[in-house]
C-alpha cells in the first residue's frame, strides 16, 4: 500500500522539544473499553495539532501523535481509564523477588496485519532496537540489560537494577511490537506493519489526514467500536471549532473560550483540569553555570516569585489549576499539603536572595522556545520583581532539544504531560531523566528512588513516591506553577471516556453512544 504525501516525506527523527511540548499539552486520557462493538459502523474523526513524526517504533512520540501509532501497534500492557495497569498483548506478567527479572507471557493467536504471528522474537527485536537507537524513549529502557525469548510466547527482561517505571513504560511507546521483517525497512516510518487494531488506509495523506481501518481479525476487536478512525492535523484552534460545527470532526480538544459556543450547538464538553504541568525547571542545582542556584535559598526564592492564581486566570483563562509540585494530582505521589509550601511573596523572596549573598539579584539566560513564548513576559516580570534579570535566547525549533540538554542553561520553562508517578520520577528526578539535565543526585533522594523501584507492595511504593515528591518541593528542584487542563468536545454518537487518571492518547479514550 502506498500512502500519499502532502509534500514533506515523513522520516524518523529525534524528538524536538516543541513537538514534545505541543503533544503533551494536548494529551488526553485513554484506556477504556471503547464501547460496544455493535455500533462498529461508526467513524470517529478527531483533530490534533501536530502530525506524527514517524511510525518507526524506535522514534515514536508520546502525546497526541500516539492517537495514530497506538492504533497501529499493540502495546504489551495498557493503562485503563482509572490509571490502573492492565494486560494487553501480554496477558500476564511477573517479577522475581529481587525485581530484577520481569517475565511476560504473550497472548496466543495474535497476528500482525500481514497475517504473520506475533511472537516473543518480535518483542525481543523491537525492544532491543529501541534500546540501541537514539530516540526520545531510549532512556526508559536504561535499566534493561537483556531481553530473552525462551519460547514463542515468553519474554524475559533482565534488569541491571529494579525500575519502578518499567511496567508503565511498556504500556506506552517502548511497549509496542513491530514486525521484525520490516522494522528496518524504509516503509516503517510511513506505513508500518503492526499488530494493533487498525491499519493505515491508502487514502491517508501524511501531515494532513490519517485514515485508519479496523482489523476485524484483531484479538481485541470488540474493544474498538469505530470501523474507521480518522485523524486530521489542524493547527489553528478556530479552524478546529469550525470543523466540529460543520460535521467534519466529531471529537476535538478545544480552548475554553470556545466551550459555550459548542455547548449551545449541542456538543458535549468534558473538562479535565490537569493534563500537563507548567514549571520553571531549576536544573543547575550544583551551580555549574548559574552559581547562585546551588543555594537552596535561591531556588526557594524563585518558587515564591510567582502569583500562581493570577497566572492561571490571565494566561490559562482558568483552564487548569495551580500547583507547587510536578506530580499528577490523579497519581499516587501527589500530596495536596505540598501546594502550601511557598506563598507568593516577592519581599520574602528578596530577603532569601540577600541571605544567600545576592542582595542585588543576578542575571540568567533561558532558551526561548516556541511554546514557552506566551509565558515569557510573565516569567520575566515575576523574576525581575525579586532581582533576577532574564535574557531569552531565541532558539529555532530544530535546536530545542539540544538547547535544553546542552547544560548551557541553568533553568528553563517546561510544559510536560502528566503521567504515572514512576514515569514522572524517572523523567524529572532520576539522574538519567530527560528533565534532570545536570544529573543532580542526593543521598537521601537516591535511597528513596531505590526503595520505590524495588517496592513490591503498591501502597509502600506510593508512600515512597510521596516522600520523593516532598523532597523535590522542599528542596525546590523545580518551581511548578500550573497544571493546564483540556476541554474535549464530542458530537452525538461519540463519548469521551477519560477523567484525567491516564493521559496517554488512544482511540480507546472514546466510546460510541446512541
CATH 3.10.105.10, the chain: domain bounds: 274-485
Give Cβ neighbours of residue 363 (< 8 Å, ≥ 6 apart): 388, 389, 390, 391
For residue 136, the model assigns a pLDDT of 83
* pLDDT tens, residue order, the chain (514 aa): 434 434 333 333 333 333 333 333 433 333 333 333 334 449 999 999 989 999 999 999 998 999 999 999 999 999 998 889 999 999 999 999 999 999 999 999 999 999 999 999 999 999 999 999 998 889 999 999 999 999 999 999 999 999 999 999 999 999 999 999 999 999 999 999 999 999 999 999 999 999 999 999 999 999 999 999 999 999 999 999 999 999 999 999 999 999 999 999 999 999 999 999 999 999 999 999 999 999 999 999 999 999 999 999 999 999 999 999 999 999 999 999 999 999 999 999 999 999 999 999 999 999 999 889 999 999 999 999 999 999 999 999 889 889 999 999 999 999 999 999 999 999 999 999 999 999 999 999 999 999 999 999 999 999 999 999 999 999 999 999 999 999 999 999 999 999 999 989 999 999 998 7
Question: Residue 487 corresponds to which cell in the numbers above?
Answer: 476541554
CA–CA dist 412, 262 (Å, integer):
36
Under CATH, what is the fold of the domain 4-267+491-512?
D-Maltodextrin-Binding Protein; domain 2 (3.40.190)
Element counts in the chain: helices (H) and strands (E): 14, 21
CB 27 within 8 A of CB 275: yes
DSSP 131-189: HHS-STTGGGGTTEEEEEEEETTEEEEEESS--TTHHHHTTSGGGB-B-TTTTTSGGGG
pTM given for the model: 0.89
The residue whose grid cell reads 497472548 is 107
CATH 3.40.190.10, the chain: domain bounds: 4-267+491-512
CA–CA dist 102, 498 (Å, integer):
29
CA–CA dist 269, 259 (Å, integer):
7
Helical spans, DSSP H, in 88-142: 120-132
Dihedral over Cα of 453, 456, 462, 467: its sign = negative
Q: 3-class DSSP state for residue 479?
A: strand
The CATH homologous superfamily of the domain defined by 274-485: Dipeptide-binding Protein; Domain 3 (3.10.105.10)
Estimate to the nearest angstrom the gap between the alpha carbon of 489 and the chain centroid: 21
CB 42 within 8 A of CB 36: no
DSSP 207-270: TTEEEEEE-TTSTTGGG--EEEEEEEE---HHHHHHHHHHTS-SEEEE-GGGHHHHHHTT-EEE
For residue 259, the model assigns a pLDDT of 97
Phi, psi of 390, deg, nearest 5? -105, 135
Amino acid at each position: 500500500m502506498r500512502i500519499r504525501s502532502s509534500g514533506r516525506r515523513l522520516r524518523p527523527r529525534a524528538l524536538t522539544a516543541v513537538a514534545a511540548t505541543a503533544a503533551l499539552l494536548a494529551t488526553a486520557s485513554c484506556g477504556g473499553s471503547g464501547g460496544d462493538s455493535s455500533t462498529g459502523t461508526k467513524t470517529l474523526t478527531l483533530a490534533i495539532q501536530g502530525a506524527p513524526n514517524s511510525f518507526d517504533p524506535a522514534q515514536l512520540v508520546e502525546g497526541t501523535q500516539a492517537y495514530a501509532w497506538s492504533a497501529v501497534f499493540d502495546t504489551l500492557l495498557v493503562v485503563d481509564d482509572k490509571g490502573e495497569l492492565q494486560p494487553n498483548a501480554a496477558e500476564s506478567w511477573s517479577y522475581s523477588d529481587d525485581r530484577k527479572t520481569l517475565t511476560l507471557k504473550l497472548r496466543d493467536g495474535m497476528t500482525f496485519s500481514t497475517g504473520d504471528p506475533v511472537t516473543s522474537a518480535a518483542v525481543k527485536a523491537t525492544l532491543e532496537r529501541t534500546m540501541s537507537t537514539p530516540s526520545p524513549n531510549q532512556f526508559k529502557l536504561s535499566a534493561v540489560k537483556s531481553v530473552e525469548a525462551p519460547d514463542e510466547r515468553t519474554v524475559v527482561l533482565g534488569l541491571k537494577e529494579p525500575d519502578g517505571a518499567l511496567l508503565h513504560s511498556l504500556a506506552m511507546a517502548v511497549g509496542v511490537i513491530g514486525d521484525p521483517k520490516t522494522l528496518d525497512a524504509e516503509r516503517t516510518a510511513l506505513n508500518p506493519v503492526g499488530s494493533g487494531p487498525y491499519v493505515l488506509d491508502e487514502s491517508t495523506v501524511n501531515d494532513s489526514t490519517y485514515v485508519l481501518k479496523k482489523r476485524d481479525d484483531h484479538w481485541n476487536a470488540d474493544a474498538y467500536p469505530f470501523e474507521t478512525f480518522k485523524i486530521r492535523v489542524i493547527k489553528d484552534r478556530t479552524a478546529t471549532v469550525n470543523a466540529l460545527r460543520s460535521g467534519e470532526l466529531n471529537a476535538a480538544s478545544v480552548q475554553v473560550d470556545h466551550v459555550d459556543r459548542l455547548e449551545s450547538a449541542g456538543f458535549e464538553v468534558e473538562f479535565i483540569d490537569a493534563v500537563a504541568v507548567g514549571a520553571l525547571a531549576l536544573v543547575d542545582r550544583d551551580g555549574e553555570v548559574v552559581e547562585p542556584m546551588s543555594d537552596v535559598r535561591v531556588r526557594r526564592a524563585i518558587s515564591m516569585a510567582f502569583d500562581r492564581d493570577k497566572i492561571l486566570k490571565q494566561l490559562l483563562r482558568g483552564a487548569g489549576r495551580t500547583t507547587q509540585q510536578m506530580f499528577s494530582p490523579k497519581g499516587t505521589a501527589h500530596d495536596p499539603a505540598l501546594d502550601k509550601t511557598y506563598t507568593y511573596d516577592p519581599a520574602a523572596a528578596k530577603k532569601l536572595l540577600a541571605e544567600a549573598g545576592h542582595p542585588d539579584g543576578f542575571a540568567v539566560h533561558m532558551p526561548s522556545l516556541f511554546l514557552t513564548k506566551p509565558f515569557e513576559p510573565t516569567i520575566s516580570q515575576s523574576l525581575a520583581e525579586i532581582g533576577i534579570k532574564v535574557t531569552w535566547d531565541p532558539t529555532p525549533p530544530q535546536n530545542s532539544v539540544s538547547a535544553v540538554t546542552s547544560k548551557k542553561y541553568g533553568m528553563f520553562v517546561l510544559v510536560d504531560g502528566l503521567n504515572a508517578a514512576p514515569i514522572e520520577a524517572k523523567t524529572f528526578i532520576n539522574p538519567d531523566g530527560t528533565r534532570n539535565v545536570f544529573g543532580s543526585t542526593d543521598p537521601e533522594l537516591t535511597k528513596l528512588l531505590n526503595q520505590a523501584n524495588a517496592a513490591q507492595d503498591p501502597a509502600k511504593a506510593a508512600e515512597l513516591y510521596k516522600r520523593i515528591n516532598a523532597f523535590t518541593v522542599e528542596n525546590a528542584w523545580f518551581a511548578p506553577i500550573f497544571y493546564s487542563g483540556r476541554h474535549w468536545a464530542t458530537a452525538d454518537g461519540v463519548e469521551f471516556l477519560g477523567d484525567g487518571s491516564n493521559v496517554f492518547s488512544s482511540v480507546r479514550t472514546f466510546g460510541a453512544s446512541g
